[in-house]
């Protein structure tokens, strides 16, 4: 059993063992702000907790002052979208990192370092609370030229669009915007299931 007493994790200094919970050993930790809080040992070691909560509060204050990224003291939805986008691309501990940063997906510098610029682009390009950010080509990065705002349904369909775009079928390549299963089906007056079948079999000879 490791003795964590005296060790420092971010703003926290472990002062004593607090007890044992269902998730492991907990410790009494003193923050640099003076507050003492009970923290799980695993949270200290993996870096998910580095303060009593004061660090997050300070960051929110900075965001509100610099970016206008809060609404009544809470992060606005668009700010959360921006932050989660960065987590997926640059935080190797994020659940979906392997699908984004792990395969080389990045964010353009203008957006990555400046929320205000991202927000300005979003509002000019049709953002609403019903939409989420979508990469038109799933193999390319988060940039103004490769992103738009889409519904969850369009997002789900777009996970299949990159390979479809690569097919050398002139009539399909003429379609503009997000190339979805529904759009192809509507264009050629066939059912979505028919398009899916063609997609998975790779036989596009049935498409004029």
Residues 146 and 162 in one domain: no
| Buried-state track 20-29, b at ≥16 Cβ within 10 A, e below 16 | eeeeebbbbb
Is 193's pLDDT higher than 90? no
Residues 146 and 183 in one domain: no
- Who has greater pLDDT, 168 or 137? 137
Phi-psi region of 19 (alpha: psi -120 to 50; beta: other; left: phi over 0): left
Segment 176-201 shows an average pLDDT of 68
Is 194's pLDDT higher than 90? no
Residues 203 and 164 in one domain: yes
Compute how many other C-beta atoms are within 10 angstroms of the C-beta atom of residue 172. Answer: 18
Q: Are 40 and 50 in contact (CB under 8 A)?
A: no
Q: Which domain holds residue 142?
A: 75-150
pLDDT tens digits for range 111-159:
998 999 999 999 999 999 989 998 888 888 999 998 999 887 776 666 5
Question: What is the rounded (10 degree) CA torsion for 140, 97, 123, 136?
Answer: 30
What is the C-alpha separation between 52 and 29, in angstroms, rounded?
A: 8
Number of residues assigned to the chain: 208
In a domain, 38, yes or no: yes
pLDDT cut 70: percent of the chain above it: 69
DSSP E strands in the chain: the ranges are: 8-9, 12-21, 24-31, 36-40, 70-71, 74-75, 132-135, 147-150
Residues 182 and 124 in one domain: no
Residues 145 and 167 in one domain: no
Task: Look at the block and give the residue holding tokens 């509507």.
Answer: 186
Residues 90 and 131 in one domain: yes
- pLDDT at res. 89: 94
In this structure, what token pair is assigned to residue 177? 């915007």
131, 150, 169 - which closes a domain: 150
Residues 166 and 143 in one domain: no
- pLDDT at res. 143: 95
pLDDT tens digits for range 53-70:
887 777 665 555 445 555
- The count of domains in the chain is 3
In this predicted structure, which of 1-5, 41-45, 83-87, 130-134 has the lowest mean pLDDT?
Answer: 1-5
What is the C-alpha separation between 146 and 141, in angstroms, rounded?
A: 7
Give the dihedral sign, CA 152/71/148/66. Answer: negative
In a domain, 70, yes or no: no
* pLDDT band of 26, cuts 50, 70, 90: very high
In a domain, 66, yes or no: no
Residues 79 and 43 in one domain: no
- Who has greater pLDDT, 153 or 77? 77
- pLDDT at res. 38: 92
In a domain, 61, yes or no: no
């Amino acid at each position: 059993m490791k003795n964590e007493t005296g060790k420092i994790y971010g703003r926290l200094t472990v002062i004593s063992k607090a007890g044992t919970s269902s998730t492991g050993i907990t410790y009494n930790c003193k923050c640099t702000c003076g507050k003492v809080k009970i923290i799980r040992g695993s949270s200290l070691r993996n870096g998910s907790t580095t303060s009593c909560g004061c660090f997050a509060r300070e960051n929110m204050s900075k965001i509100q002052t610099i970016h206008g990224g809060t609404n009544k003291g809470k992060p606005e939805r668009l700010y959360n979208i921006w932050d989660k986008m960065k987590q997926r691309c640059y935080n190797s501990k994020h659940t979906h990192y392997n699908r984004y940063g792990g395969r080389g997906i990045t964010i353009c510098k203008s957006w990555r370092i400046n929320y205000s610029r991202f927000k300005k682009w979003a509002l000019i390009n049709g953002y609403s609370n019903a939409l989420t950010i979508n990469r038109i080509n799933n193999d390319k990065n988060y940039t103004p030229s490769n992103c738009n705002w889409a519904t969850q349904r369009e997002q789900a369909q777009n996970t299949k669009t990159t390979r479809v775009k690569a097919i050398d079928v002139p009539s399909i390549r003429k379609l503009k915007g997000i190339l979805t299963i529904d759009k192809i089906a509507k264009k050629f007056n066939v059912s979505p299931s028919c398009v899916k079948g063609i997609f998975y079999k790779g036989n596009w000879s049935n498409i004029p």
